[in-house]
Structure formats: structure tokens, C-alpha cells
Amino acid sequence: MFKEHQQIVLTAPVTGDEQQELQPGDIATIIHIHPNQKAFVAEFTSPDGETIAIATVLPSQARPATDSTKN
């Protein structure tokens, strides 16, 4: 189950709202979840925090980002 403000990693290519090509491995933050979690809106940013793209993502196109250093 995905939540707002959760970081995600794409597992499939996605097209941003302005036709940007986003690739598996790209990281984003969920900024809105549609009813019944059928899709969510995610913000993709550069390392310095600048927004690169906003995209609608299906749950099947992403996974939660995890920190492998946490036990």
C-alpha cells in the first residue's frame, strides 16, 4: 500500500505530464493518491531538489523505495 509523501522507485517506463521519459530506477515522491489507489501522482526531482517531472503512476509501475541500511 502506497502513502502520500512516500518515496518510490519506478519499475517500468512512465511518461511525465509534459512528455518526459522516466525510466525504471528513477526515484520520486508521491504527492497525491487517486481514489481506491488505482494510480498516484509522483514528483521526480533532481539531486538539488528541482522538479524534473510530475507523472501519474500505476501501482504496478513502481515499488516503495527502501533503505537497505535499516534493519
Predicted confidence (pLDDT) per residue in 26-70, tens digit: 999 999 999 989 999 999 999 999 999 999 999 999 999 986 545
Instruction: State the cell numbers at 10.
Output: 519506478
54 close to 41: Cβ distance less than 8 angstroms? yes
List, for residues 28-40, the tens digit of each pLDDT value.
999 999 998 999 9
The residue type at 43 = E
More confident residue, 66 or 23: 23
pLDDT for 60 equals 97
Give the pTM. 0.88
Domain segments of the chain as ranges: 7-64
How far is the first Cα of the chain from the last one, in angstroms, to the nearest whole number?
20
Class of domain 7-64: mainly beta
